[in-house]
Amino acid sequence: MAGAVLVAPSIARAAPRYSYADAIRESVQVETPLDNDADGRPDRVVVDLVRPREAAERGIRVPVVMVASPYYQCCGRGLENERKEYADDGTVTQFPLYYDNWFVPRGYAFAAVDAAGTSRSTGCADVGGREEILAVKAAIDWLNGRARGFHADGTGASAGWSTGRVGMIGKSWDGSIANGVAATGVRGLATIVPISAISSWYDYSRYAGVVRSRRHHVYLHNYTSGRPAGVCTAVTSELSAGSDDATGDYNAYWAERDFRPDARTVRASVFIAHGLNDTNVTTTQVGAWWSALAKHRVPRKIWLYQQAHTDPFDVRRAEWVRTLDRWFEYWLKGVDNGIMREPQATVERAPGRWVDEPSWPAPSLQVPVRLGNGTLGLRPAAGTVSFTDDPSLGESALVAQPNTPVAGRLMFLSAPVPTSLRVSGTASVTLRVRVDRPTTNFSVRLVDYGTADRVNYGNAAGGVVRQTTESCWGQSTATDDACYFDTVEDVVSTDHAVITRGWLEASHHASLSSPTPLDPDRWYTMTVTFQPHDFVLATGHVLGLVVSQSDRSFTSPTPSGATVEVDLAGSRLTLPVAGPVRIGEPDRAPAVTTSRAPDPPAADVVPHA
């Protein structure tokens, strides 16, 4: 299908002016300020570029769309796992994804940056650390004349063809790099579009002191490294020691990889896209980052959808490309196309039903819901209930059969709600507890009990199904196809669904950096925060709160054998209740009906694809 462009005219509002086939392709090595492979020379990151030849010949400077990634050679990008492919002279003949095909003909350059220590870049990957972030910052500095660049033959390379305005975009780890670079406040970075991205590596690898996956940063380094064996041994030792699996504490290592405190330095606008059911990069990443950006009045926009770790290109393709096109046009070219006067938030409320809203989370009232003897209600209850850790219980067993007692869990159920109830933002549960061990893990879940059509976000593609048809998004060449398999949402009818989850390692209840062992004779009040969400509990459905301890479905379990006593009068669930409820009009794309209910993925996941 090379050369075919099957995009609807309504999408291509900024008509292409330049030839992608004739574009200039070059590879530049940008010098960074660090030398973490300790070879005595500044590390270099490779910036592979494609830019319109006609603009260069006419002396027209162009802005840059950039994706910095550790995945260009090890793993590939997108549902079709595309990798960079090279000509004999080292320039790229195929760039992954559609950004180059779409934006270069519209007057942008596209830059694909190999993260430090991966693919053809030197240095050593430090997984969200200074090397990773400052190396990509150097690429932006080079585009603005503030860093040195070199061709493969050692001659100097300049970026006089660039306006210096850069928009970073990327999914998962790629988007995480964009967040980190924006947090440096680098001049020239005009906007970022982080998709399913990390804003705190601690919250990715730890859940309030609960260890999610052990030796994960060493694994990620090894998984993506492009360096010869032995070159990065010192760095992997630092990753192992700093991540400190033995405690789950927040320390200097994690602080270096926490971008949220630096939201005050962000100069770029931010357009976030994230799956509400992402169990890989959970919604805590977007919720906390969004709040920090809002506090500092960073211009921003957000899309939230029902899928898991999924790109909106594979969820609502035409509308996403149209919106992204206008976003970059505004922030990189200065065209006042009205996008910043439109609603800030776009939320998929139910499969295929989208609502535009002025802000997110929606304005809400914090409603305290009391815990009774197996019930949720508005009146306080007296007495205590207790349960003992059962590490054999996975999520499916924890939430099934809500009316049947199950050892190892506490189940609290509301009455059927008389009218639809919308919860928008971050819920929490406060527990007054006495624990007969120095610590234990708490795992909490909110569950929607009631039959409905729901996105099957636990499938292999995060809630979509690839079709046999293709559509094309930009111009193609013989070596770089702009065409991608179409997708539709994978929708199933189920009688219940986990809405959101939360965890807490009990000795960290007062401090993530300084844990305190529990006294078995003392009562403690501790709050477990759920992952931010936006959901509607339909009329007649029942809201369930499930409390357990070890969680083998989503963490590296550390069974405690603890028995926990819960004081009902001192405990409560707090819900950010918003209204009124708008479901939205369904999209035209059909859904796929299957017989499989959503299943959570394994706990040890990689932020990829």
364 is catalytic: no
**514 classed as catalytic:** no
Q: What is the DSSP letter of 328?
A: H
Short-list 403, 410, 360, CA closest to 386: 410
Active site (annotated) includes residue 151: no
For residues 600 and 309, what is the distance between their CA atoms, to the nearest angstrom? 12
The whole-angstrom separation of Cα 606 and Cα 609 is 9
Three-state DSSP class for 417? coil
d(CA 90, CA 25): 10
Q: How many angstroms separate the CA atoms of 286 and 179, rounded? A: 11
Q: Are 510 and 487 in contact (CB under 8 A)?
A: no
Could you give the CA distance from residue 582 to residue 323 in angstroms, rounded to a whole number? Answer: 22
Distance of CA 11 to the CA centre of its chain: 26
Choose the catalytic residue: 216, 221, 274, 309: 309
Point out which residues pair with 573 in neighbouring strands: 369, 429
Q: Which of 37, 43, 203, 278 is catalytic?
A: 278
Helix axis angle for 130-143 and 173-182, nearest 10°, is: 70
Cβ partners under 8 Å of residue 173, min gap 6: 69, 70, 71, 197, 198, 607, 608
H helices of 51-156, where?
Answer: 53-57, 99-103, 130-143
**Is there a contact between 280 and 196 (Cβ–Cβ < 8 Å)?**
yes
Q: What is the Cα 544 distance to its own chain's centre?
A: 26
Q: Are 52 and 105 in contact (CB under 8 A)?
A: yes
Catalytic one of 27, 121, 162, 172: 172
Closest CA to 126 of 245, 281, 30, 254: 254
What residues are annotated to the active site? 172, 278, 309
